[in-house]
Amino acid sequence: MTGEVESLPSGIILKGIGGFYYVKTSNAVYECRARGIFRKDDHSPLPGDRVGITVLDEDKKTGTIDEILPRESHLVRPAVANVNQLAVVLAVKSPSPDFMLVDKLLITARLKELDVVICVNKMDLDENGECKNIRAAYEQAGYPCIQLSSKFDIGFDILKHKLQGKITVFAGQSGVGKSTILNKIMNSWIMKTGDISGKIERGRHTTRHAELVELESGGYVVDTPGFSSLELTGIKSSELDTFYPEFNDRRLHCKFIGCSHISEPGCSVKEALEAGLIDRGRYLRYIEFYNALKQRREY
């Protein structure tokens, strides 16, 4: 018997629990096992993976994952594929902003080629105009900032627009309000798909893993325990300046090739710093990162 070979139904993995993967296709969510070949090749499926499946039982919505399409990105912690946007969350106060962590996250985003949005949360606590300083520092570097307050429902329409068509993971220090933001998003903007929550209920009592939640307006957010650790790996001290967008146009005009922008004369980056065109806090943290990376290389 001859004829055209049908292509595999394709979809995206929302969540994986105990060897089962929940794959959303254009018309349903299927509970799938992965073929053994993936274990053999050490290429396990991840939430966010776009996959081809074979449907085993249409009524029970079960199937197998037969193909994992090439990944655009891959995060290790949380373990998720094809994220293309990072939402960095910090609070105006309670807790005080950890700018070292914020800058590490921004460097990681550029390393992974992710879009970035910075969420300045707890605007209702901003008694001293701290948000204005935060926005000035990061918007000067080219990063969009959104002011949020769950208490007064400020900024969520802007955030909703930023999430459209993206797979976004939220990150930030403990206590800044990531869970509150995600809960507000999930209570208001998620697709009404009762069959999904029913199918994955079995995993609620287990250790939480990354899970994609679909938004009504298109796109997904990653419901995740977050970044459990973050180190600047895969970056040399000599290339750190390329991860600072506010340095980019200026570093090419330094007097010396390979300028570290720390002690060399004729440095265009330092000239921009003194002219107020680069945030001093960002610059000082750059020096800390540079020295740490250089020391790591020496040892």
Domains identified in the chain, total number: 3
Last residue of a domain, one of 54, 70, 86: 70
Residue 121 burial (CB count, 10 A): 24
- Kindly report whether the peptide bond that precedes residue 70 is cis, defined as omega within 30 degrees of 0: no
Kindly tell me the number of DSSP H helices and DSSP E strands found in the chain: 9, 13
Assess if residue 232 is contained within a domain.
Answer: no
Residue 59 shares a structural domain with residue 108: no
Residue 156 burial (CB count, 10 A): 17
Residue 90's alpha-carbon distances to 14, 149, 285, in angstroms, are 27, 12, 17
What CATH number did the domain enclosing 29 receive? 2.40.50.140
Phi, psi torsion values for 68, nearest 5 degrees: -110, 120
Q: Are 133 and 51 in contact (CB under 8 A)?
A: no
Residue 185 shares a structural domain with residue 112: yes
What CATH number did the domain enclosing 264 receive? 1.10.40.50
Mean pLDDT on 245-267: 94
Residue 121 shares a structural domain with residue 171: yes
Q: Tell me the whole-structure pTM to 2 decimals.
A: 0.86
The boundaries of the domain holding residue 211 are 75-194+204-223
Residue 249 shares a structural domain with residue 266: yes
CA-closest candidate to residue 160, choices 224, 87, 96, 99: 87
- For 84, the token pair is 């293309």
Residue 118's alpha-carbon distances to 16, 146, 154, 178, in angstroms, are 29, 6, 15, 12
pLDDT given for residue 53 in this prediction = 96
Residue 225 or 105, more confident? 105
Q: Are 269 and 277 in contact (CB under 8 A)?
A: no
Whether 202 has a pLDDT exceeding 50, the answer reads no
What is the Cβ-side half-sphere exposure of residue 253, based on CA atoms within 13 angstroms? 9
Round to whole Å and give the CA distance between 193 and 214.
9
Whether 193 has a pLDDT exceeding 50, the answer reads no
Residue 183 or 224, more confident? 183
pLDDT given for residue 209 in this prediction = 76
Find all residues with CB under 8 Å of 133, minimum gap 6, and list them.
none
Specify the DSSP element, H or E, that contains 119. strand 115-121
pLDDT given for residue 75 in this prediction = 87
Residue 281 or 79, more confident? 281
Assess if residue 57 is contained within a domain.
Answer: yes
At residue 15 the predicted structure's pLDDT band, cuts being 50, 70 and 90, is very high
Find all residues with CB under 8 Å of 16, minimum gap 6, and list them.
22, 45, 46, 47, 209
pLDDT given for residue 194 in this prediction = 43
User: pLDDT tens across 175-188, in order?
Assistant: 999 889 988 888 87
User: pLDDT tens across 90-117, in order?
Assistant: 999 999 999 999 999 999 999 999 999 9
- Contacts of the segment 272-280: beta carbons below 8 A, 24+ positions apart: 272/246, 277/140, 277/246, 278/140, 278/141, 278/246, 278/247, 279/136, 279/137, 279/138, 279/140, 279/141, 279/246
pLDDT given for residue 190 in this prediction = 73
- For 244, the token pair is 């600072």
